[in-house]
Amino acid sequence: MNKLKIVGGSVILLAVLAGVWWSTTSSDRSGSAVGRAALPTSQSIVVPELSPVALTGEATFNASCAICHGTNAAGTDQGPPLIHKFYISRRHADFAFVIAAKSGVRAHHWRFGSMPPVEGIEDADIQPIITYIREIQAANGL
Ligand code: HEC
């Protein structure tokens, strides 16, 4: 009889401990939200005097990319800023821009969802966009 009580008591104790463990470890598995406060705004980005190629890139960027990546590539609620340490050439080389524009990007760094391929964009359109982004990145110490 006594033995049975001890076994029963242990089972209850284990169940309680398991409950405590579960509630403390499973409360926030979703990770931290995108830190919007730390992201640039179109006003906080320094836009240098752009080269002629970058000016061409800016026009294409504004027509094809800014709807998601924002004015001055500062980001919107549809897409991340490209004036960001993630996208410096050491981490996202120029070909990453070509692939992104032509084939799209599966969501991986952020929570904006995936980037669809940009319809009708050509390599010749993308190169000046890269020049535009790199010139702004450099002016912002990236
Ligand atoms: C419909 C919205 C949308 C449009 C339009 C768009 N993008 Fe994106 N882009 C995104 C999102 C969202 C991501 C982030 C995906 C992630 O990493 O979570 C992204 C990521 C990127 C990346 C990072 C690629 C990588 O390898 O991580 C580059 C570069 C990029 N976009 C360039 C462009 C360029 C250039 C254009 C215009 C030609 C453009 N995007 C148009 C939504 C968009």
Question: Percent of the chain at pLDDT above 70?
Answer: 74
- pLDDT value at residue 1: 53
Q: 142: which 2 tokens?
A: 């990236």
- pLDDT value at residue 81: 97
> What's the pLDDT band for 37 if we cut at 50, 70, 90?
low
Mean residue pLDDT of the chain comes to 84
Q: 58: which 2 tokens?
A: 């800016």
CA-based nearest residue to 65, from 136, 114, 129 = 129
Q: What are the pLDDT digits (tens) for 86-107?
A: 999 999 999 999 999 999 999 9
CA-based nearest residue to 126, from 32, 31, 61 = 61
Residues with CB under 6 A from ligand 1: 64-65, 67-69, 78-80, 92, 96-97, 100-101, 105, 107-110, 112-113, 115-116, 118, 121, 129
- In a mutational test of the pocket of ligand 1, which residue from 34, 78, 105 has the highest number of ligand atoms less than 8 Å from its CB? 105
- pLDDT value at residue 32: 39
Q: Which residues make Cβ contacts (< 8 Å) with residue 137, sequence separation at least 6?
A: 82, 83, 87, 88
CA-based nearest residue to 60, from 118, 20, 108, 10 = 118
Question: Percent of the chain at pLDDT above 90?
Answer: 69
d(CA 74, CA 44): 9
Q: What are the pLDDT digits (tens) for 49-81?
A: 999 999 999 999 999 999 999 999 999 999 999
